[in-house]
Amino acid sequence: MDELELTSWRRAVAELYGRVRSAEDPAEGHAAWRTGRDELFASHPQSPLPPDDPLRVSGLPYWPYDPALRFAAAVQPASGASLEIPTSNDGIVGLRRVGRVRLPGPVDAELDVWWLAQYGGGLFLPLRDGTAGQDSYGAGRYLLDSAKGADLGGGTDSLVIDLNFAYHPSCRYNPRWECPLAPAGNRIEVPVRAGERLTS
């Protein structure tokens, strides 16, 4: 049953991020995240990879872990602007802005933090950077999607933002998945050579 398979996928993702948050060394947490993602993408029935995709064997490609790209970022209040943004399959997803985070050098950028306007909601932080369309997916990558368990932690007024955990949405691999695209407040010119990439 697709619904139970998808629930299993989301449960596995949430458990994986739980292991990442409990890791004493962020680099070790990142290595565990990569291994866990490769296992899910290789064998889970809800994997977005087609059955014959070579990434099921080789694993997903990433840039090397860079500790300078991990931040504990205060979430600054921002107007509660609402958006209905397109998805990869011509659908619409509602978002409400709940704040902004400032990332210092070497990134030196601000990003909007969104709340998904759907049942249960969840924080959502996409990123489209200077690598998009060349070294990473043209529509952008995701840093956080707490509705699906992708959450690196934080406090009541801050978030852990680790650009090494930027990952491609499932629609990059399979058009049956609906993926919200990065809105204007989540697009930056600086290339972020961290996280998942298109090729090794």
- Phi and psi at 20, nearest 5°, equal -60, -45
Give the span between the Cα atoms of 153 and 132, in whole angstroms: 26
95 and 114 Cβ atoms separated by less than 8 Å: yes
The pTM (predicted TM-score) of the whole model is 0.93
Residue found under tokens 């990473």 = 136
For residue 124, the cross-strand partners are 114, 145
With cut-offs at 50, 70 and 90, classify the pLDDT of residue 86.
low
Q: Which of 52, 57, 59, 58 shows the shortest CA–CA distance to 36? A: 59
Q: Report the half-sphere exposure of 120 (CA within 13 A, side-chain side).
A: 5
Please report the DSSP string for 108-144 in residue order. -EEEEEEEE-STT--EEEEEB-TTBTTTB-TT-EEEE
CA distance 138 to 135: 9
- The per-residue pLDDT for range 122-181, each reduced to its tens digit, is 999 999 999 999 999 999 999 999 988 999 999 999 999 999 999 999 999 998 888 888
| Digit-coded pLDDT (tens) for 34-61 | 999 999 999 999 999 999 999 999 999 9
As a whole number of Å, the CA-based R_g of the chain is: 16
The pLDDT tens digits of the residues spanning 90-129 come to 677 789 999 999 999 999 999 999 999 877 789 999 999 9
